[in-house]
Chains A and B, each alone.
Chain A
Amino acid sequence: MFILEKRPTPSRFWLYATPVVAVLLTMIAGGLLFALLGTNPFAVIKTIFWDPIFGEFAFYLRGQLLVKAGPLILIAIGLSLGFRAGIWNIGAEGQYIMGAIVGAGVGLAVYPTESRLIYPVMVIAGALGGWAWAMIPAILKTKFNTNEILVSLMLVYVAQTILAKASTGFLRNPEGAGFPGSRNFSSYKAASNPEFFAGSGLHWGGIAALVAAGLAYVLLQRHIVGFQIKLTGQAPRAAKFHGVSPNRLVMLCMGLSGALAGLAGLFEVTGPAGQISIDFNVGYGFTAIIVAFLGRLNPIGIVLAGFLMALTYVGGEMAATNMGLPAAAIQVFQGMLLFFLLGVDVLTNYRIRLLFRGTR
């Protein structure tokens, strides 16, 4: 048997080593899973983690990595601020959808006007849409002490029904012969978000993600708000004595994460997705939770984690088409990653001591 002994201070080594160990353990467990599904585990792992970067089609897939990593990083950065302070916004998926609907709505309202101003206004509208959707749980939390986890999650389901209504109703393409889905933004230049260089995968979303990561880093390292966020997370009572207003922090963290999720939604819907459709959202808002934890709630870590998670998406799709790996297997793989991460994390704060018979 073994017992856990609390470390006097968290281990810096394990703080950085746990994500690596977790990824390795996930590869082993995932390999077993893939073997059970009747595929060659080594080939699948290679397809997921190696081929998108160095394989035959890497010139195309590297761009895809950026396409997937952008929204994940953008959302995860916002979530990580709240998670650090113990504010659990888990409805990023809903804020992502609402940002996309509001931003796209603004663009479609002025169709077919061509102006340089349209896209910036849409970006602002997208951020506001996500922000407003996140403000609902934030205000309910501060005014009525309502659990923000449950409210933000419920609002995801509400946002999904609004999305269904948008794509079949108020945002439907009037020239689309009755098919669900809005006008395609790729044919509406003023409101579209194309790749800067074809095939590079870099569009405004990727830029925004990197800028957000940079700003979040500065905020956490250099700004008083960042200090307050960290303090509230580590010692809520001390934070109160320090004069931190918990309500202000809730509004700030929820608002920021909502706005960033809304931005991600807008960039996605005007860029890679192309239109508002009933299922344009693919769960980035939930996967971003894994990204935030995998990146240790640290902006730089989140950028790395975002790319790793993008790798599982892109590589997973490759494995699905080439080797018949079920798409759901990748979802399981991502979930396992979070499990291992949370489990291995114990080593950061605790030391494991083996107990032999007779010793205590």
Chain B
Amino acid sequence: MDFGSINPVILIASLMVAAVPIMLAAVGELVVEKSGVLNLGVEGMMVMGAICGFITAVETGSPFLGFLGGAAGGAGLSLVFALLTQVFLANQVATGLALTLFGLGLSALMGQGYNGIKPPLTPDVPFGPLAQIPALGPILFAHDWVVYFSVAVIAVTWWVLKATRLGLIIRAVGESHDAAHALGYKVNRIRLGCITFGGAMAGMGGAYVSLVRVPQWVDGITAGAGWIALAIVVFASWRPWRVLIGAYLFGGITVLQLNLQAAGSAIPVEYLSMSPYLITIIVLVIMSSGKGRAALNAPAVLGQNFHAAR
């Protein structure tokens, strides 16, 4: 195998870019799950965000509006999930799956006529001479704003969940909705807020795929990134900073296997392209078993619907 042709600085710089979609989607889903809701529709919300963001960016010419459009698309679809699970008390697993099936279909429908178009370029944040620093420059100071935004979202989420009243309420709702209800918190409304946040983040992550990573529109463009994001939440055992680590890890694997494909390694392309999924499974196994079981850290009422009898 030829690792020599792979430049580590460029590798790190590009893994930070590759990690953005799953990081945004995963941190959104983390907040959703912290409030006790399991939304398996991340893939659907991401792909909706991808097409809504793409259409907005192409039509307005502004990539920034594109990301807002993507967030709106993801949040819009997540509202369907919220309506079904919070108002009509539908099964969360089934509704999440429905969300993914529906999102894949609707995005393909909306995307007709947008194949083969290039979206407007998202420019790098100008850091001036800082970007010229050897090694550190390309890694830290030569990215578009969403890369920094995604790290900021992690930091803010960590701070909100850890140190604010809002975070305490979200965690209370996720650990015991009955107790939270007894204290007078509107369980379903708080969950609605979390679900919408999760949808917006997933949508933005999807928009990053179609606007920066690929950048064009093809049906089912997210190719399982939403499911990997769900796995990363488990990997992170519901801790925001570990989402960052997980996302960079998977970003690294993705970039590395793409680089190996391009470098013409001895491993067949097919086996390289299935590696992110296989490694996800292995990581899930490691995190779910043994003493430090991730499941022990899971929100106590994850996946259970709340119906206020009184």
A and B interact: yes
Name A's B-contacting residues (CB within 8 A).
4, 6, 37, 88, 90, 136, 140, 143-147, 149-151, 153-155, 157-158, 161-162, 164-165, 169, 286-287, 289-290, 293, 326, 328-336, 338-339, 342-346, 349-350
Contact A332 B105 (CB under 8 A): yes
Give me the 5 closest cross-chain CB pairs, A-B, nearest first: A335-B102, A331-B105, A328-B108, A144-B289, A342-B90
Of all chain A residues, the one with the shortest Cβ separation from B273 is A161
Given contacts A145-B293, A332-B105, A335-B102, contact A345 B90 (CB under 8 A): yes
How near does chain A come to B217, taking the closest CB pair, in angstroms? 13
CA distance A338 to B80 in the complex (A): 12
Q: Bound complex: CA of A164 vs CA of B274, how far in Å?
A: 11
Contacts of B91 in A (CB 8 A): 342
Per-residue interface assignment for chain B, residues 268 to 308, with 1 indicating a CB less than 8 Å from any chain A CB and 0 otherwise? 10110110011011001100110001010000000000010
CB distance from B222 to the nearest CB of A (A): 12
A158 to B276, CA, bound (A): 9
Tally of contacts, chain A with chain B, CB under 8 A: 135
Residues in chain B within 8 A of chain A (CB atoms): 40, 80, 83-84, 88-91, 93-95, 97-98, 101-106, 108-109, 112, 219, 223-224, 227-228, 230-231, 234, 268, 270-271, 273-274, 277-278, 280-281, 284-285, 288-289, 293, 295, 307, 309
Min CB distance B37 to A, Å, is 15
Once A147-B234, A150-B230 are accepted as A-B contacts, the answer to whether A336 and B102 lie under 8 Å apart by CB is: yes
- B94 contacts A157, CB within 8 Å? no
Contact of A149 among B93, B112, B270 (CB under 8 A): B93
Do the beta carbons of B289 and A335 come within 8 Å of each other? Answer: no
Secondary structure of the B side of the interface? helix
Q: Are A88 and B285 in contact (CB under 8 A)?
A: no
A147:B288 contact, CB within 8 angstroms: yes
Instruction: For the complex, give the distance between the alpha carbons of A145 and B289 in Å.
Output: 6
Smallest beta-carbon distance A125→chain B, Å: 22
**Assembled-state Cα–Cα distance A287/B97 (Å):** 11
Q: B234: which A residues are within 8 A, CB to CB? A: 147, 150
If A146-B288, A342-B84 touch, whether A335 touches B105 (CB-CB below 8 Å) is yes
Bound form: Cα–Cα A151–B227 in Å: 10
A154 to chain B, nearest CB (A): 4
Q: A154-B280, A329-B109, A342-B95 known; 16 other A-B pairs, CB under 8 Å?
A: A88-B93, A149-B40, A151-B284, A153-B224, A154-B228, A155-B277, A287-B101, A290-B98, A290-B101, A293-B94, A328-B108, A332-B106, A342-B91, A342-B98, A346-B90, A350-B89
- Chain A residues, Cβ within 8 Å of B231: 150, 154
